[in-house]
Structure 1
């Protein structure tokens, strides 16, 4: 008998998306699915979660679970690198439970809803962008027949042989009206944050805002999936922190906002609130070099900031300008040096292969990264993800369906397709430059000493296992390319 009140949520697994760097990667509770669950439960429905990344279940086992639970709706969330695993899960579910309704959500279906339903014929719906209200109305339709499918904003659905795109749904305006994410969906001890961020095994993640003000050409939040910044009130944030500390013993907080430092006055307000309500709690956030200064960082440090992530992207001012990042190399240097002087650990992210990139500008970025007193750095290859400006302007769509399984920074992509006209680098140069950047940055005696001083053993062992695996993979790639070419 069908459980008309149950939404079974599935987070498509990453599997090897991080490639050889998976040893340094972490697993995170899917807060977005947690919000959908609590929103539905507050209104009389039920939800369950399958997360293969921490539960180690196969697609066949997922399908068996669906058949056994017989939910009203299965919701599968995924980003572009998980496209093929999501598709395989849909196929397995359709074979095991042919009558179940399947909805797709997450970044990839939100960016390409019509294409996604066309390419995954086993799915019935796509939920675009924020899913709380759309999921609720879809569950009501499946239970009672109302509201009509055509009236559910934010939904894309099948009408016989046609795919219908409904009116867009506005983002949730009042974030404080949402219940806290349903962390009881799954054992929280299964999750392990990225080893760089924390010495603690009891780390919790939280959103204090939604949306991003940026217009970066490489990020879907800056283009197709862009939403206005909406902020939660301090009372709500402090109450959620109290809940996760008392219920789950969290002693380290990872703030997942796209840009936590977007508005300085709010950051000062947060520092005052967390110092008053949760003194001694250590935390991490993502910042932007053009929104922080020494006084702000000093106050953040006093209030428990342990480490901060900066998207530096490039050491070349013109490349950054073309990427519409809105920062300068000088601002990045000032921010990182201020953090060093204050004892705040820093992680700098760099992208190789941005529009206009040449070997010279890439080498400039590597030199710039090595000149900064960063605790750690990450180098990736630009991937033209659907929903980004680079995808729409540069991705060669004339070569048939994209092989989304290769849309992973560690694997390289089919650059002859993806990078047509974007930069002056060959398909062989970009992976080699990424491996070179890792070697140049991490094998310096000064950098090794810096990491030993400021990093925990889990961070060092995890990242260096991944690093040496990356180097080995690059050597294998070069040998394979040489053998194939003659």
Structure 2
């Protein structure tokens, strides 16, 4: 059909309140358009301030279906994490019942357990993409335009033919990202993503976006499902072009480099910092880094170029736990980098994990002590969840989860709870849910009430921001929401203490 849309890429309805830009969909859409195909993105959003109850979630789901069907695309591309499996399958069935589009699915879970999508009854999927989808999607669109329906010759797919699940040839992915076009930001609701939020600068309001300069991670942390061990890099020219575009087009105040391993190449980091500093764009920024990858020349370059936030996966205060998780870092590395950041007025975020493999009460105590010592600007004490595809899942979750049980992962992630006995991988008998609540209240309560930083670079950007009214509105709204949240949390804790007292009294 002349003028028919080639592909409609659909974000998960469960991510409606997320303020993290779906970069994978942007890259896919930009890639296929650069190859001469048409693409649109369905990404239904709701305010991050909105509490999404069941009715509101259903409204988002229905709107996602309606918008997708209205595009009348040849191909519909869905993305799926393990905990979203049932929702994405339901979404695919609804779309299948309403239009004739071919439905493909990609994402983390498709690379971990691709056959799941065809072992379910009456599968609505036509193909499962393993790994990255840019070249695969381009070939699928080429086949569809030519009217060729047999995708068995396309590498990197799982399909079902005559009742048999077929894995096509493995695909060798390109070693670099030089050919990636500028992300097509105009296809998203950028008003939603550019509202001041707390998750770019960790509990401090900032308007901006997450970007990537590389993909992949060579490390082997046992709690991570990453399978792309080789790191591939974008040309710095392209990264700088994207930042300039974001500043000119959307007047961003901040950007966050979400690479797993941004600091792995010191010379590249220094060159990036020098070029960014020379532009004098009036932007502040942050990174995610490894604690043992900051020689003085790299650290100084970051500070001079306007980096004011560094996030670190600390995970544990116990060297034994760090080694068991194959983090490849030392406790002394952690102490050094946080001290260095404090002395240079760099904000820090420390992510700790509870319920680590074989964790003892002594290990927990070391985590608490390290949390106190490093004096981070912001903390998270999360409960480790063994996801399919990780080493800890293979070792501890037995029997493995059934497809019907994947929803447990989403529940665990949302509530920081051990929702299934198989998820408890610590050796101690502490109440992990209560421990996480206690530590998060202790280390983040006041940070979550402040919302703003006294860092001079941050204050300068805030003073010149075109979004000052939005900052004021969001700070006021979050203040009321946090008061309600912490009041409920403290009340819940008080009830638990009272109940424990009465049980103890009755026993005595």
The normalised TM-score by structure 1 is 0.87
Worse overlay, 409-418 or 149-158: 409-418
Worse overlay, 164-173 or 341-350: 164-173
Match of 1:19 in 2: none
CA RMSD of aligned residues (A): 3.3
Match of 1:333 in 2: 335
Match of 1:169 in 2: 171
Cα distance in 1, alignment partners of residues 439 and 221 from structure 2:
22
Match of 1:397 in 2: 399
User: How far has the Cα of 1:448 moved from its partner?
Assistant: 8.1
Cα distance in 2, alignment partners of residues 398 and 480 from structure 1:
35
Worse overlay, 262-271 or 144-153: 144-153
Pairwise mapping of residues 198-209 of structure 1 onto structure 2 (< 5 A)? 198=201, 202-209=207-214
Question: Secondary structure, in 3 states, of the residue corresponding to 1:66?
Answer: helix
Higher relative contact order (CA 8 A, sep 6+): 1
Query: Structure 1 residues 466, 231: CA separation in 2 closer, same or farther (over 3 Å shift)?
Result: farther
Cα distance in 1, alignment partners of residues 361 and 346 from structure 2:
32
Cα distance in 1, alignment partners of residues 216 and 181 from structure 2:
18
Query: Does structure 1 retain, via aligned residues, the 8 Å contact 2:418–2:433?
Result: no
Please say if 1:423 is aligned against 2:415: no
Query: Structure 1 residues 155, 10: CA separation in 2 closer, same or farther (over 3 Å shift)?
Result: same
Question: Secondary structure, in 3 states, of the residue corresponding to 1:126?
Answer: strand
User: How far has the Cα of 1:317 moved from its partner?
Assistant: 0.4
Query: Does structure 2 retain, via aligned residues, the 8 Å contact 1:3–1:70?
Result: no
Worse overlay, 389-398 or 266-275: 389-398
Worse overlay, 375-384 or 151-160: 151-160
Cα distance in 2, alignment partners of residues 263 and 213 from structure 1:
12
Cα distance in 1, alignment partners of residues 41 and 156 from structure 2:
22
Q: Structure 1 regions of 5+ residues with no counterpart?
A: 17-21
User: How far has the Cα of 1:465 moved from its partner?
Assistant: 6.2
Query: Does structure 2 retain, via aligned residues, the 8 Å contact 1:406–1:413?
Result: no
Question: Secondary structure, in 3 states, of the residue corresponding to 2:292?
Answer: helix
State the structure with more CA Rg: 2
Match of 2:354 in 1: 352
Cα distance in 1, alignment partners of residues 133 and 7 from structure 2:
13
Question: Secondary structure, in 3 states, of the residue corresponding to 1:8?
Answer: strand
Pairwise mapping of residues 262-277 of structure 1 onto structure 2 (< 5 A)? 262-277=264-279
Query: Does structure 1 retain, via aligned residues, the 8 Å contact 2:5–2:72?
Result: no
Query: Structure 1 residues 452, 260: CA separation in 2 closer, same or farther (over 3 Å shift)?
Result: closer
Query: Structure 1 residues 382, 475: CA separation in 2 closer, same or farther (over 3 Å shift)?
Result: farther
Question: Secondary structure, in 3 states, of the residue corresponding to 2:403?
Answer: coil
Cα distance in 2, alignment partners of residues 259 and 237 from structure 1:
15
User: How far has the Cα of 1:372 moved from its partner?
Assistant: 1.4
Q: Structure 2 regions of 5+ residues with no counterpart?
A: 48-55, 460-471
Aligned residues: 469
Query: Structure 1 residues 431, 481: CA separation in 2 closer, same or farther (over 3 Å shift)?
Result: farther
The normalised TM-score by structure 2 is 0.83
User: How far has the Cα of 1:451 moved from its partner?
Assistant: 7.8
Match of 2:28 in 1: 36
Match of 2:413 in 1: 409
Pairwise mapping of residues 63-462 of structure 1 onto structure 2 (< 5 A)? 63-97=65-99, 99-119=100-120, 121-146=123-148, 148-191=150-193, 192=195, 194-198=197-201, 202-221=207-226, 225-397=227-399, 400-401=402-403, 403-407=405-409, 408-411=412-415, 412-419=417-424, 422-426=425-429, 429-442=431-444, 453=454, 461=479
Question: Secondary structure, in 3 states, of the residue corresponding to 1:397?
Answer: coil
